[in-house]
């Protein structure tokens, strides 16, 4: 996993049972998309897809379409 959020600063006093980090599990990473109605006939379960996100400009991620519905 990866650290998604840090709730305290270095050197800060933290009482017992206080959340200090938020960890995100990234395997499997799921992506939910809206596909325009006119394009729905072009997608099929099992189809390989390429995704680009604003958080990683210029990077492409490959995936497999597992569900349409």
Give the Cα separation of 43 and 34 in Å (integer).
12
Q: What is the pLDDT of residues 14-68, one digit of tens each?
A: 999 999 999 988 777 788 888 899 998 999 999 999 999 998 899 999 999 998 8
Query: What per-residue confidence (pLDDT) applies to 27?
Result: 78
Give the Cα separation of 53 and 16 in Å (integer).
38
pLDDT at 1 over 80: no
Query: What per-residue confidence (pLDDT) applies to 60?
Result: 94
């Amino acid at each position: 996993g990866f650290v998604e959020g840090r709730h305290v600063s270095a050197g800060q006093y933290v009482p017992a049972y206080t959340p200090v980090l938020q960890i995100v599990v990234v395997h499997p990473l799921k992506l939910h998309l809206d596909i325009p109605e006119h394009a729905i006939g072009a997608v099929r379960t099992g189809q390989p897809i390429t995704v680009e996100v604003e958080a990683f400009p210029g990077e492409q991620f490959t995936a497999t379409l597992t569900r349409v519905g």
